[in-house]
Amino acid sequence: MKRKMFFFLASFALILIAACSHTEHGEEQAILNVKIETKSPIDVNKATEISCLVTYGNEKVDDADEVKFEIWKQGSEKHEMLQAKNKGNGKYAVTKTFTEAGTYSIVAHVTARNMHNMPKTDIVVGNPSASATEHDQHDHSSDDVMIMLMKQSYEANKQAELVAHVTHDNTPLVGTDVHFEIWKGKGKHEFIKATEKGKGEYETTTTFKEKGTYVVKVHVETKDLHEHQVEQVTVQ
């Protein structure tokens, strides 16, 4: 009798463990997914909606912390960052009028559910010549490197953590050199080397000496490229 009871309890325990493992495994499968939705080609000088669908597992995310679209014409160093509007049902969108023909890159910067995703797509505006398109793609072969400084709250004279996510071809860029360049107004520029804490995640700490707006420039260097992203942070 005792032996049967032992096997019964052991079997029940194994069932519980398996159930817990299945639940944990299921939770791990939920990821933040972002799909950019826009037509191509786009007409010049015509207001066009650019949107993305944000989901977490099977759930449509209507409470994302931040959704922005970064847009630039290939061959140009000018990047435009547009704040998206929440349209409901997981959709976030901006309206953009392109005034020049060419090939453009669009990156959706989405932060939600303590995760970040920034897919990239290219679109054609108007009817650019083949030679111009080839020239743009040749000159900006490293445009597929994306750098995102995570938004946080900062207070003067308190240790602050700076975290940047770096991807290449939508894949975390690992084993590279990342530096943070920090300055305020016409003040001295401070350079701090970052440490890789996770795949494509680089971080360091600093202390902002006073309140105000600071510029943070994230430098990413490998043997074949040197990319950077400039952001502004407010220190309370």
Tell me how far CA of residue 35 lies from CA of 27, 49, 226, in angstroms: 21, 14, 28
Domains of the chain are 32-140 (2.60.40.10), 147-235 (2.60.40.10)
pLDDT at position 1 is 53
Going from the C-alpha of 27 to that of each of 3, 74, 108, 172, the distances in angstroms are 36, 39, 25, 22
Residues 184 and 189: their CA atoms lie apart, in Å, by 8
DSSP state, 84?
Answer: P
Measured in whole angstroms, the distance separating CA 212 from the mean position of its chain's CA atoms is: 25
Name the strand (E) or helix (H) holding 18: helix 2-29
Enclosing H/E stretch for 55: strand 47-56
Cβ atoms within 10 A of the Cβ of 77, count? 7
User: 53: which strand partners?
Assistant: 35, 91
Q: How many angstroms separate the CA atoms of 26 and 43, rounded?
A: 44
pTM: 0.50
Rounded distance, CA 148 to CA 175, Å? 17
For residues 10-42, b (16+ Cβ closer than 10 Å) or e, as one string? Answer: eeeeeeeeeeeeeeeeeeeeeebbbebebeeeb
Q: Please give the angle made by the CA atoms of 148, 66 and 193, to the nearest 5 degrees.
A: 20
Q: What are the pLDDT tens digits along the chain (236 aa)? A: 545 454 444 444 444 444 444 444 444 446 788 999 988 889 999 999 999 999 998 899 999 999 999 999 887 778 899 999 999 999 999 999 999 998 888 889 898 888 888 888 888 898 755 444 444 443 333 456 888 888 788 999 999 999 998 888 778 889 889 999 998 887 888 999 999 998 889 999 999 999 998 888 888 887 777 788 878 888 99
Task: Supply 129's token pair.
Answer: 């010549």
